[in-house]
Amino acid sequence: MLVLSALHDVLTQVLSLPDLHTAALLTPSGELVSYASDPASSKDHVRVVVGLSGEVWQETHGVSMMDSEVGKILVMPVEKTAENSEQSPANGEDPEPLMLIALNAVSAVDWEDLQATWSRRHYTTAQAQHAEATPSPSHSAGKQAASPRVDPHGLVAPELAHLRKTLLNLLGSSHPGLTDIAEYYFLHPSKQVRPLLVLLFSCATNGLGRDWELKKWAAECEGAGGRSEELDRPLTRSDVLNDWNPKMSDAMSSFESVFPLQPPPAPSQPPIPPAATRSSPPTLSSPTLILPTQTRLAQIVEMIHVASLLHDDVIDKAHLRRGAPSAPAAFGNKLAVLGGDFLLGRASAALSRLGENEVVELIASVIANLVEGEILQMKEMHRADFGVVSINDASVPRAGRENWNIYLKRSYLKTASLMAKGARAAVVLGGCRDGDVWKEVAYAYGRNLGIAFQLVDDILDYEAGEATLGKPGGADLQLGLATGPALYAWEEHPEMGPLIERKFEKEGDVELARDLVRRSSGVERTRDLAQAHADGAKEMLRLLPDSDAKSALEALAERVVKRTS
């Protein structure tokens, strides 16, 4: 029987819980292994949670915290011990990992701190275990040691946690309601795939670019513009910008009097950069270093992503996002749109301070791509495009070639563009220039990964339930969208064509379309297509030098296809 005192010992490794009311030890499938509570708590409350536990586990692959009718719920994995290792099945397969669920913890804990502490500890433990298990060179002559599998989030967990905390400083407004809507989605747990890509490619390429030493100098030298505190300063006087952010500056001009002519400040003399001295072949920086400009870029791409979510939820009339009421449902359509616009404005101001024209062009074009993708999603499909066409190339889908082109182009514009261009921009900020292959690797990886990510999203719209997705399943069909599974199903069931043509508008169309997809191989073929793009992403990484970051990028490509939420 699990006792609360022993449970405290485990939980306090990642957070402090002065008062733990109820705890349970479960398998991810929801089987109750052990249970403990104080006299005031009921075991029946745990059964309410069992149905949710597996979904939370699948979504986070680690620590998760959520609200429920019975209070705060903390879910975390339990590492294998000698005691539970004895429970292995007879066939030799590993048993399901156990989860701890702590209910009704009185003390609150910041989500980012919790996730970062757990991930850092888990990553360090995994690395130590790998080091112990790796045979010495004398025992492995003639054999190539396999690379340890690196957890993408665990590798940069502290940076991700710091990134989310400091990001909120960019979102302050003189209007409290605007601050609330701008911060709304940032306060919910998210996968953070886009900033993760920026940070991992920074780790995987910093030191390789021809201008790396210059970028590193700018990050360390006062006045060069690359230090963290300098990225928060406006390029123009704050009273000219009137960028009223109470979290960042109090030097704003008052509106109580006529604005006077201000004498121009004396021009400052910027520091002189060092002369280029690199003569040896490029090597990764050691220890691994992420520049302040790259951290700020990671924040910018997440701001743009969240702005697109705010706008999408208005356009799509979505009621849920990440398992909570969507911003339009919580604040109304007008504030949701204005909040998205505000985020784009803040992101644009932050982008201008990075000091790289190519990065500005890349990220600005992403905003245009998001709009183009939304317009393309609204485009009417022409009747001439319908019908199954005969194409000999087995790799090309045969159902409505133009429809597939529109679908995959939309997937790039709305999803892959930000991943691809964000990754490329990170490498540029690390000092890579035209002629350096690392920029091309980052873009190709991000583009392939982004399309794979969207294809799996479209699969989950058919496969996953609302509790797992954090939004209603079948949303694409409700919006009249024919995604990969439906287009593949059309090849096997011609009656899908008229449904797609009228955008599933008639009563019963959505249900019939879902049934046709279920009776076809559409989901499996879409997953195969996603796997092909993920494999393409991994192939791009062959040009990178070996590192933990490279291994993490490989693992991320695999994880994108296997994810269930």
172 touches 248 (CB < 8 A) = yes
Residues 46 and 190 in one domain: no
* pLDDT exceeds cutoff 80 at 143: no
Handedness of CA 110, 111, 114, 116 (dihedral sign): negative
Residue 242 maps to a domain? yes
The C-alpha atoms of residue 277 and residue 222 are separated, in whole angstroms, by 21
> What is the rounded average pLDDT of the residues 8-15?
50
User: pLDDT tens digit string along 105-122?
Assistant: 444 444 444 445 444 444
The C-alpha atoms of residue 423 and residue 438 are separated, in whole angstroms, by 10
Locate all alpha helices (DSSP H) within 184-326, ordered by sequence: 193-205, 212-220, 228-231, 238-241, 292-315
pLDDT of residue 99: 59
Q: Which of 8-12, 375-379, 437-441, 532-536 shows the lowest per-residue confidence on average (mean pLDDT)?
A: 8-12
451 touches 408 (CB < 8 A) = yes
pLDDT of residue 547: 95
The C-alpha atoms of residue 455 and residue 544 are separated, in whole angstroms, by 26
β-bridge partners, 26: 32, 99
Cβ neighbours of residue 140 under 8 Å, at least 6 residues apart?
none
Query: How many residues does the structure list for the chain?
Result: 565
The C-alpha atoms of residue 80 and residue 85 are separated, in whole angstroms, by 6
Residues 110 and 166 in one domain: no
What would the two tokens of residue 146 be? 């396999």
Read off the CATH number of the domain in which 541 is found: 1.10.600.10
Number of C-beta neighbours around residue 243 at 10 A:
17
Residues 108 and 183 in one domain: no
Q: Could you identify the residue written with the tokens 């495009």?
A: 385
Residues 181 and 317 in one domain: yes
What would the two tokens of residue 516 be? 């046709």
Residues 287 and 362 in one domain: yes
User: pLDDT tens digit string along 156-204?
Assistant: 988 998 888 888 888 888 788 888 998 888 887 778 899 999 999 999 9
Residues 443 and 521 in one domain: yes
Residue 472 maps to a domain? yes
* pLDDT exceeds cutoff 50 at 224: yes
Residues 231 and 367 in one domain: yes
> What is the rounded average pLDDT of the residues 287-301?
95
**Which amino acid, residue 253?**
S
Residue 122 maps to a domain? no
pLDDT of residue 76: 57
Residues 222 and 310 in one domain: yes
Q: Is 102 helix (H, G, I), strand (E, B) or coil?
A: strand
Minimal CA–CA distance to 153: which of 434, 520, 555, 430?
555
Residues 499 and 368 in one domain: yes
β-bridge partners, 481: none
Residue 145 maps to a domain? no
- This prediction's pTM: 0.73
Minimal CA–CA distance to 353: which of 305, 300, 301?
300
> What is the rounded average pLDDT of the residues 262-288?
79
Range of the domain at 460: 152-252+281-384+393-562
Rounded percentage of the chain residues whose pLDDT exceeds 70: 64
Residues 199 and 64 in one domain: no
Number of C-beta neighbours around residue 253 at 10 A:
16
pLDDT of residue 390: 39
Residue 93 maps to a domain? no
Residue 261 maps to a domain? no
Q: Using DSSP bridges, classify how beta strands 32-37 and 22-26 pair: parallel, antiparallel or unpaired.
A: antiparallel
Q: Which of 153-157, 253-257, 453-457 shows the lowest per-residue confidence on average (mean pLDDT)?
A: 253-257
pLDDT of residue 249: 55
Q: Write the DSSP symbol of residue 106.
A: S
Read off the CATH number of the domain in which 104 is found: 3.30.450.30
Number of C-beta neighbours around residue 501 at 10 A:
17
Q: Could you identify the residue written with the tokens 């405290």?
A: 8
Please confirm whether the linkage preceding 264 is cis (ω < 30° from 0): no
pLDDT of residue 113: 47
User: pLDDT tens digit string along 309-346?
Assistant: 999 999 988 888 877 888 999 999 999 999 999 999 99
Residues 459 and 545 in one domain: yes
**Which amino acid, residue 426?**
A
- Count: domains in the chain: 2
Greater confidence (497 vs 279) lies with 497
96 touches 27 (CB < 8 A) = yes
461 touches 424 (CB < 8 A) = no
pLDDT of residue 471: 55
User: pLDDT tens digit string along 28-72?
Assistant: 444 555 555 554 444 443 332 333 333 443 444 445 555 544 445
Residue 59 maps to a domain? yes
Number of C-beta neighbours around residue 36 at 10 A:
20
Residue 32 maps to a domain? yes
Q: How far is CA 185 from the centre of its chain?
A: 13
Residues 62 and 183 in one domain: no
What would the two tokens of residue 48 be? 């309410």
